[in-house]
Structures are given as C-alpha cells and as structure tokens.
Amino acid sequence: MAAVRVEAVLAAAEEQEAEKRRSITVEKELELEYDLGNLLAVDRNPPPAAALRGAGQRREALLRALARDNTQLLVSRLWELPAERAGGAGGPLVAQLPEPTFRLPREKPPPKPRPPTRWEQFARLKGIRRKKKTSLVWDEQAKEWRRRWGYRRAGGDPSRAWLAEVPAGADPEEDQFARLRREKRERVARNELNRLRNLARAHRAGSAVPAAPLHPTGHQDRDELRRVARVARVSTASLGRFQPRLPKESAEPPSRSGGKKRRFEPLLGNLAAERSRQLEMLRDMGKKKPVLDITRAVNKQMRQEEAEAAAANKGKKQSKRGKRGRRQQRPGRSGKKSGARRQPQQQKPAGGGTGGGRRKKA
Amino acid sequence: MRPLTEAETRAVFEKLGKYIGENIQLLVDRPDGTYCFRLHRDRVYYLSEKLLKLAASIPRESLVAPGTCFGKFTKSQKFRLSVTALDFLAPYAKYKVWVKPGSEQSFLYGNHVLKSGLGRITENTAQYQGVVVYSMADVPLGFGVAAKSTQECRKVDPLAIVVFHQADVGEYVRNEDTLT
C-alpha cells in the first residue's frame, strides 16, 4: 500500500519535472534559421491548418503557442552565445552577438537624382563629352611634371608674374595687373553665382518633379503612375489639349493649380460658340451608338415571323399548304441535283435569319 | 449661376437623349431664340438669352430659379431629371405610353404602370427605354422607364409592371416645397 503510494508520488514528481523540461525543449520538424545578429529566427515549418483558417479562440491559442515555441528556441540559442559581465563583476550579463547576415530593407527612400545643371544640359544637347585630362603636365621651364593647377602649377605662380603684356586693342594707360585681378574676381563671382543657381534649381525641382522615371517600371503604385501619366500628357506642344483620352479618364484638362481652384466658362460668354460646341458634342454622342442593335433586330425578326404566322393561320382554311405544308415542302424540294447546291445556300441564311428568329428572346 | 462643364453637359445630354433621342438638337438650336443651360445650386436650368441677361444681375443668394429647371445633379454628380422638364420632353418624345383612364390616378400618385392599365405603347420600344406617359386624351402625365419591351408587353400577365414611374405631374402638388 505504502509502496504504491510512494511510487505514485515519485511518478507524479517525475511528470512534473518532465513538464518543466518540456517547457524549454521544443520539437520541430525543420530546424529554424537563425540570424542572431538581428535577433531573428525564421520558422519554415508549415503551420497547422487550423491556425490559418478563420478566426477565433482556437486560432489565437494555436498562434500564441507557436510564437511561444519559436521564442523559446531563439532564446535558448541566445543563451549559448559567449557572454561576459559588463561593468565589472556585479554588472549585467551581455552576450556578444555575431554579425547580422539578413539584409534589412532601406529605412528611408533612396535619394533622388539631382537635376542636370545648365552646362550639363547644354553639353548633352550639343553632344559634348568630357575629355579626360591628365593630372600632371610637363613644364618645359622647370623640366619636370607639375600639376595642372594648384600649388606649384605648371605655368608658374600667377601672383608672381612680373610681366603683363598690353593686348593689341587695349587702352595703353590701363593697369594690366589690375585688370587681370579684376577679371579673376569676376570669374570667381560668376562661378559662385552659377553654382548657387544650380543648387536652387535642384532644390526647387526636387519638390515639384516626381522622382519616378517617366516610363513604367512595374514597381510604381497607382498614384505615382497617375502623376506620371499627367506629366506625360501635358508634355506636348499644345500642352495636352488634344491628347486622346482613355475610356475611364475624366474629360476635363488637368488644372495648373493642381485642382485647388476650379475655373468655369464665363456666364454670358459667346453663346453661339457654346451652342456649336454642344451641337458637336451631340453629333459625337450620336456617332458612338452602334448602328446595328442586336436586340432590336431580333425583336423585329420575331415580329415579322409572328405576322407571317398570323397571315398563314388565316390562310390555312383556304389552302392545304399552310405553315406545315410549306415546312414539309422544303426538304422535299432538295432533290439529288439541287441537294448539293442547296446546302451552302441554306446554311448561310439559317445562321442569321431563321436561327435568330427561332431563338427565344433572352 | 454658371455654364455647365463638358462632363456635366455630356451627362445632361445623355439623360435627355434617353427620352427624346436626337431631338435634343431642337432644344439646343432653336429658330426662335438662343436658349442655353445654366447651373445654379446644383440644378440645371433651361433659359433664353434674354432671361439669362436679366438673371445675371441678381445676387446668387437671392436668385431662386432662372428659367425652367430640367433636373439636378446629385452629390455624386449623377443627373436626375425632374418633372418640370416634361413640357420640353413631351413634344419631342420618341417612345410614348398611353395609360387607361382608370389607372391614371394611380400613376399620378406615384405608382408604376401595370399591364392592366396600359392603353397603348409605341412599337419598337426596347426594355429600359425612357418613355413619356400620356393619358388617353394625349395629355402628358409624366415620364418613366419601360420595364418590358413592346413584344414582351403583349405576352405578360395583367399585374406585371410595364413602366417604372420616374416623375409625374402629381409631384407639383406632392413635392411643392422642394420643386423649383
């Protein structure tokens, strides 16, 4: 009796131990993929079917259990990393994470390309390409390779030039050195001005022009494509006034203020012009309607056949050949000779007329 | 008050075309004067040039209605024809429906027209075609949409609806407050 009870107690205790251990060991078919540098664990096991379908308590419980198991596996791996005590003996235990292997996507959007400067536009227009220049130039005077510009440049120090020739058409009284200095100052100022202008243009253009290229890449969303389509439509000589429209596009031209202010025709504008515009619109609308309306054609055919049937019924009393007589005659008429000839003739009208008439109106 | 934009004009003409077809030209281009459409507070009005010039000098808040109201644009920019356009639809209507004297009153109260109340109907009326409803004395009562084509009208049972009611002259009394 006592032995049984002791055994029962031991078994219960062992089960409790196993329970505790079970909570830290997790069985998985496929091993998880770990990227401990990013604290990432990827579980490629297919989830239980009940976890995918529907919503409810059971699904929540299954998902929570799945999350718990995977977190347990990740944490056990983290515990296996080499760790040390930070800040001396009493500090917290810090694990040394390895390098991350998983490439995270960009956090912010990529930088927009800078718009070309005035010179770059001109060069592209003319087809001027950059000539690659050597960085060192041979200086005959010093008989060595000197820089093209800068400290100890090839042509000698310009501030130490002791001779400045008076050019052919210049004023003999003018100070050439002053002129050279002034021209250098002007060149520097002009360059600086152009640089600032290019910057301003780039800054301004960066906020107005869409960063997306004008051709579709397949990675653009609907708003971007719409914006790009609008830009493309307006880039014609007549600013998009005569561009054909897609069937579902609005008929109004895109306003310059971007839809903030609606502009209407004047109230008492040219009434004759308005009338002619409306008449033209009516003409266009009339042209679009299909010339052959199938239902009406079918109805007409049905009406015709009914009229014929009514007439035939009226004349049934008078002659033996009624509707039925006429129907029976047709296959009789196609004899051996005319049978081959009749076939192609009968097939064509059967498709359009009789077939259409006999068909029940949907 | 302002002229209609192209999209609005197209919507109005399409709706009118359902009832009078290509006779809209006779409304736009009249021999006895220049008439035009103007939009005032979401309602489309049809008025002559003379009236337009007079109405242009009235402030917007005080102006109730210039000319004849054809209909209004709903909040989602759909055009809805109202009974006040009947005077202009009736003479140019392409498809007409005559209603028996017994069910005239029913139609004027806003009910649909049943087969038992149908007197005559134009030949070749397609299903869902816009029709103008007359009494047997050729007095226009309103307009609607044909629920069945003329062919089907012959074969259908007496209690089936043949014309859906859209507007009738009884609305002048019923909706006196909201009609312009």
Structure-token match 């909201």, residue found: B178
Determine the distance in angstroms separating the CA of A114 from the nearest CA of chain B, rounded to an integer: 40
Q: What is the mean pLDDT of residues B2-29?
A: 93
CA A94, A98, A99, A101 torsion: positive or negative?
negative
Taking CB atoms and an 8 Å cutoff, what residues of chain A touch B2? 264-265, 267
* CA atoms of A161 and A176, how far apart (whole Å): 12
Compare all CA atoms of chain A with the CA of B13 and give the residue at the minimum distance.
A282
pLDDT value of position A150: 86
Which of B176, B110, B179 lies closest to B141 in space, CA to CA? B110
pLDDT computed for residue A349 by the predictor:
43
Nearest to B5 among A252, A266, A285 (CB): A252
Find, in chain B, the residue whose alpha carbon is nearest to that of A284: B10
* Nearest chain B residue to A276, by CA: B29
Taking the alpha carbons at both ends of chain B, their separation in whole angstroms is: 15
Q: How far is A356 from chain B (nearest CA, A)?
A: 15
pLDDT given for residue A303 in this prediction:
81
Residue B130: its H or E element: strand B130-135
DSSP-assigned letters across all residues of B51-64: HHHHHTTS-TTT--
Of B138, B83, B145, B81, the residue nearest B108 (C-alpha): B83
Question: Of the candidates B147, B22, B5, which has an alpha carbon nearest to the alpha carbon of residue B73?
Answer: B5
Residue of chain A with shortest Cα separation from B23:
A282
> A287 to chain B: nearest residue by CA?
B22
Q: How many beta carbons lie within 10 A of that of residue B120, not counting itself?
A: 12
- Chain B residues within 8 A of A299 when measuring between CB atoms: 124, 126, 149-151
SS (H, E, C) chain A: CHHHHHHHHHHHHHHHHHHHHHHHCCCCCCCCEEEHHHCEEECCCCCCHHHHCCCCHHHHHHHHHHHHHHHHHHHHHHHCCCEEECCCCCCCEEECCCCCCCCCCCCCCCCCCCCCCHHHHHHHHHCCCCCCCCCEEEECCCCEEEECCCCCECCCCHHHCCCCCCCCCCCCCCCHHHHHHHHHHHHHHHHHHHHHHHHHHHHHHHHHCCCCCCCCCCCCCHHHHHHHHHHHHHCCCCCCCCCCCCCCCCCCCCCCCCCCCCCCCCCCCCHHHHHHHHHHHHHHHHHHCCCCCHHHHHHHHHHHHHHHHHHHHHCCCCCCCCHHHHHHHHHHHCCHHHHHHHHHHHHHHHHHHHHHHHCCCC
CB contact under 8 A, B25 and A265: no
> What CA–CA distances, in Å, run from B70 to A179, B7, B27, B45?
81, 17, 12, 6
Radius of gyration of chain B (CA): 17
Q: What percent of chain B has pLDDT over 70?
A: 100
Among B77, B56, B74, which residue's Cα sits nearest to residue B66? B56
Using a CB-CB cut-off of 8 Å, the residues of chain A touching B31 are none
Q: What residue ranges define each of the domains in chain B, with the CATH number in brackets?
A: 1-86 (3.10.450.220), 94-173 (2.30.130.10)
In this complex, the residue of B9, B22, B34 whose CB is nearest that of residue A281 is B9
Q: What is the pLDDT of residue A191?
A: 95
Interchain CB contact of A295 with B (< 8 Å)? yes
Which of B15, B34, B36 is the best mutation test for A, with the most CBs of A within 10 A?
B36
Helix (H) or strand (E) holding B155: helix B150-155
Q: For residue A7, how many other CB atoms are within 10 A of its CB?
A: 10
**Mean per-residue pLDDT for B64-85?**
95
Residues of B with CB under 8 A from a CB of A: 1-3, 5-7, 9-10, 13-14, 17, 22, 24-25, 28-29, 34, 36, 38, 49, 52-53, 56, 124, 126-127, 149-152
Q: Which of A212, A209, A233 is nearest to A221 (CA)?
A: A212
Which residue type is seen at A262? Answer: R
Is some CB atom of chain B closer than 8 A to the CB atom of A89? no
Strands B130-135 and B96-99: parallel
Whole-structure pTM value: 0.48
Residues of A in contact with B122 (CB under 8 A): none
To the nearest whole number, what is the mean pLDDT of chain B? Answer: 94
Q: Any chain B CB within 8 A of the CB of A347?
A: no
End-to-end CA distance of chain A: 88
- List per-residue pLDDT tens for chain A, 362 residues long: 666 788 888 888 888 887 666 667 777 888 889 999 999 999 988 887 776 777 788 888 888 888 999 999 999 999 999 988 888 788 888 889 999 888 888 889 888 788 889 899 999 999 999 999 888 999 998 899 999 988 888 887 888 888 888 988 888 888 999 999 999 999 999 999 999 999 998 888 766 655 556 676 777 778 888 888 888 888 889 888 888 887 777 666 666 677 778 888 899 888 999 999 999 999 988 887 776 677 778 878 888 888 898 888 887 765 555 555 455 554 444 444 444 444 444 444 444 444 444 444 44
> How far away is chain A from the Cα of B174, in angstroms, using its nearest Cα?
33
B26 → chain A, closest CA residue: A279
Average pLDDT over residues B51-55: 95
In chain A, what residues touch B3 (CB-CB under 8 Å)? 264-267, 269, 274
